[in-house]
Amino acid sequence: MTYSWSRIGGHLALDLCNTVSWRLDPARTIDRVPDLGTASEWFHQLTGIEPFTDHTTVATVHRLRAATTRILDAHLDAITPDSQNVATVVTAWRDALGVADVAPALPLAATSAEVGTHLALAIADLLGHDRPELRRCDGDGCGWLFLDTTRNHSRRWCDPADCGNRARVRAYTKRLQAAHPAGSRGQHPTATAH
Ligand SMILES: [Zn+2]
């Protein structure tokens, strides 16, 4: 069965970070793009660009993902991002601008079908703008990142049917156990997004 990678981030750079499931719980963490086959299929699924075939590019994908995730975590935790991570992204951005295609029309936009360049440009776009709507899922151990575009900015979960459902089931089980201390068990939620 082909894995369908999440697009819940609302931005390619966030969907890149979200290729790690349960990243805040080391016991459950799963890298969804660990090798060339999965990484290139992920890139193809999300961008429509031809899959890439160069093994060394996978390391670039992983390096950009790690740096971006750490910068965003630091931002969400209101701490200064690690300068090494910022340097990784800035270097990739500079390199990308040097080789990207820019059509002679306004607004000038740099594009590229090469995975490292394409991702670096997407990351620069994400980090180069104020993002007050940036959120990290409240789900236990989840850590997925997304742009909350709801009208009242109330989105808490990567997916209400996944982490949201787990939280509801946990709260329900807690209430049951409080009411009937012995032998109460909640139902197990069904995972969908991860
Ligand atoms: Zn979640």
The whole-number average pLDDT for the span 108-118 is 96
Q: What is the pLDDT of residues 160-185, one digit of tens each?
A: 888 988 878 888 888 888 888 765 45
Looking at residue 177, its pLDDT comes to 84
Taking residue 148's Cβ as centre, other Cβ atoms within 10 Å add up to 15
What SS3 state is found at 77?
coil
Q: Ligand 1 centre and the CA of 50: distance in Å?
A: 29
Distance 139 CA to ligand 1 centre (A): 5
pLDDT digits 0-9 by tens, 55-98: 999 999 999 999 999 999 999 999 999 999 999 999 999 999 99
CA of 194 to the centre of ligand 1 (A): 8
The mean pLDDT of 128-132, rounded to a whole number, is: 95
Q: What's the predicted TM-score (pTM) here? A: 0.89
CA of 26 to the centre of ligand 1 (A): 15
- Ligand 1 center to residue 67 CA distance, Å? 20
CA 141–ligand 1 middle distance (angstroms) = 8
The rounded Å distance from CA 9 to ligand 1 centre is: 11
How many whole angstroms from 59 Cα to the centroid of ligand 1?
26
Ligand 1 geometric centre to CA of 66 (Å): 18
Domain ranges across the chain: 12-151, 159-194
* Distance from Cα 16 to the centre of ligand 1, integer Å: 15
For tokens 């209400």, what's the residue?
160
Give yes or no for a contact between 158 and 139, defined as CB atoms under 8 angstroms apart.
yes
Q: Please, where are the H alpha helices in the chain? A: 12-17, 36-47, 56-76, 83-99, 115-127, 163-179
Q: Report the pLDDT value the prediction gives residue 182, as an integer from 0 to 100.
A: 64
Alpha helices in 29-55 (DSSP H): 36-47
Nearest to 70 by CA among 87, 94, 46, 56: 87
Calculate how far, in angstroms, residue 177's C-alpha sits from the geometric centre of ligand 1.
Answer: 24
**Topology of the domain covering 12-151:** Jann2411-like fold (1.10.3300)
pLDDT of residue 10: 96
Long-range contacts of 73-80, Cβ-Cβ distance < 8 Å, separation of 24 or more: 73/136, 75/134, 76/134, 76/135, 76/136
List, in order, residues 6 or more apart from 121 with CB less than 8 Å away: 93, 96, 97, 100, 110, 111, 112
DSSP letter at 31 equals E
